[in-house]
């Protein structure tokens, strides 16, 4: 072994900025019948959510004598639920057509008469997916699908949405929605979607670094269009909310739209991105214009696109305020803001308020934004630190006021910086003038 006067052992201890997902979803909704709710759980496969949130079961309240098309139960399933009535091996599968409350019991009207007798306390088991499991499964069914979906279960009979939304504050998700909860006129005050809107606004503004998020909700398809657009008001009329109109009879379209948003990077426009739902009827041109004028998205199927698939007709936020008319603008700002803060945290408590220190701060911001320019996410950017401009000048040329600004910055240990980003929006409309000349 040769003799060395100086020995150096090299190792790497590079700073790695924090990262966050750009499209994790949080779904809040009803799980199993009789459930009192549960805390947040994360899923990477829809089958995991189906196991975690079954539809549940109840019991027959009275003996059943065939043939009969009605039974009484201790609890009720929603209308349209497919249930198995009776013990295993003797169960009969029927669909609930109507539900009536009578003296603490529930009368279930079935789509077909029962053909066998069933004793009181025999099970009535739901065979469909719970609202929460169905929403999570539909979000995963989109192409490309989200990477992770979180679920928070609320009580089946008396859901307390405010409590669930409070628990949602600590969930690392960027898109929040309520399962099978269309925006309508019931209840008249404190609608769950309004609570969702207040949640995403408050958490985004005061919830700490990286907590920015958007909310997604569907309109109630049974309402007239005038009533639908009138509901985009108050806290809901905000650029952190996304509303969608549809004519699907059974799918939770808000879950589908949330899945589409989560499957694309923040700077990708949501215009004409495919939706995996069932919707036999489409909106008229007049209806579409009304939705557009009121900052509401719609589901469409343009004749120029082959396959007659369904697509999101626009990528609008619920309010164009703050020049944030489109979903990708809000998400891109959130994403870039997080990236810059994650890079600059290295400077806090380490770099000094002098020329080398502030130049390093500029370099850190450039290390975040330059790759975004290369990838075409943004077109250009500028970084301006007023204090650095003063420090770059000869001290003898500075006025007393400018010297005081330097002193205040150093004594207060605070640096102001402005980052301007040029974001080139995606083409949404093209006007073509076709001229034929002989």
- How, if at all, do strands 214-218 and 274-275 pair? unpaired
pLDDT of residue 103: 77
pLDDT at 76: 87
The three-state DSSP-derived secondary structure of the chain is CCCCCCCCCCCCCCCCCCCCCCCCEEEEEECCCCCCCEEEEEECCHHHHHHHCCCCEEEECCCECCCEEEEEECCCCCCCCEEEECCCCCCEEEEEEEEEEECCEEEEEEEEEECCCECCCCEEEECCCCHHHHHHHHHHCCCCCCCCEEEEEECCCCCCHHHHHHHHCCCCCCEEEECCCCECCCCCCCCHHHHHHHHHHHHHHHCCCCCCCEEEEEECCCCCHHHHHHCCCHHHCCCCEEEEECCCCCCCHHHHHHHHHHCCCCCCCCCCCEECCCCCCCCCHHHHHHHHHCCCEEEECCCCCCCCCEEECCCECCCCHHHCCEHHHHHHHHHHHHHHHHHHCCCCCCCCCCHHHHHHHHHHHHHHHHHHHHCCCCCEEEEECHHHHHHCCCHHHCCHHHHHHHHHHHHHCCCCCEEEEECCCCCCCCCCCCCCCC
- The pLDDT value recorded for residue 209 is 83
Structure confidence by residue, pLDDT tens digits, 176-197: 999 999 999 988 788 999 999 9
Given a contact cutoff of 8 angstroms between Cβ atoms, the answer to whether 300 and 310 are in contact is: yes
Question: What pLDDT does residue 419 have?
Answer: 96
Predicted pLDDT at 16: 67
Residues 38-48 pLDDT 10s: 999 999 999 99
The pTM of this model reads 0.89
Residues of the chain below pLDDT 70:
1, 12-16
């Amino acid at each position: 072994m040769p003799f060395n006067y100086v020995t150096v052992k090299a190792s790497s201890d590079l700073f790695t900025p924090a990262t966050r997902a750009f499209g994790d979803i949080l779904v809040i909704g009803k799980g199993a019948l009789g459930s009192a709710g549960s805390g947040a759980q994360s899923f990477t496969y829809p089958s995991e959510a189906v196991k975690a949130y079954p539809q549940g079961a109840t019991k027959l309240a009275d003996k059943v004598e065939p043939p009969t098309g009605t039974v009484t139960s201790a609890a009720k399933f929603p209308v349209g639920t497919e249930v198995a009535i009776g013990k295993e091996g003797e169960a009969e599968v029927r669909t609930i057509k109507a539900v009536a409350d009578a003296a603490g019991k529930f009368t279930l009207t079935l789509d077909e008469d029962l053909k066998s007798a069933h004793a009181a306390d025999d099970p009535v088991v739901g065979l469909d997916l719970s609202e929460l499991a169905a929403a999570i499964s539909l979000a995963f069914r989109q192409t490309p699908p989200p990477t992770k979906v979180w679920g928070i279960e609320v009580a089946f009979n008396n859901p307390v949405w405010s409590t669930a939304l409070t628990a949602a504050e600590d969930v690392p998700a960027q898109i929040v929605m309520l399962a099978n909860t269309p925006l309508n006129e019931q209840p008249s005050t404190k609608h769950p979607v309004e609570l969702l809107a207040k949640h995403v606004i408050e958490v985004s503004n005061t919830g700490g670094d990286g907590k920015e998020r958007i909310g997604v909700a569907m309109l109630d398809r049974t309402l007239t269009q005038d009533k639908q657009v009138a509901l985009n008001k108050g806290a809901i009329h905000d650029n952190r909310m996304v509303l969608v109109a549809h004519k699907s009879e059974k799918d939770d379209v808000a879950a589908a739209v949330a899945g589409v948003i989560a499957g694309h990077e923040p700077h990708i426009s949501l215009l004409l991105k495919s939706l995996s739902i069932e919707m036999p009827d489409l909106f008229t041109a007049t209806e579409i214009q009304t939705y557009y004028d009121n900052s509401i998205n719609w589901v469409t199927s343009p004749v120029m696109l082959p396959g007659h698939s369904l697509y999101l007709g626009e990528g609008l936020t619920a309010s164009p305020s703050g020049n944030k008319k489109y979903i990708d603008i809000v998400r891109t700002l959130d994403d870039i803001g997080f990236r810059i803060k994650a890079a600059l945290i290295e400077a806090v408590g380490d770099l000094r308020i002098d020329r080398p220190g502030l130049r390093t701060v500029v370099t850190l911001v450039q290390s975040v934004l330059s790759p975004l320019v290369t990838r075409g996410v943004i077109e250009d950017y500028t970084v301006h630190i007023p204090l650095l401009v003063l420090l770059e000048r000869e001290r003898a040329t500075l006025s007393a006021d400018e010297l005081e600004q330097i002193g205040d910055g150093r004594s207060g240990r605070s640096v102001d910086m402005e980052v301007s980003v040029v974001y080139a929006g995606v083409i949404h409309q093209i006007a073509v003038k076709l001229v034929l000349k002989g």
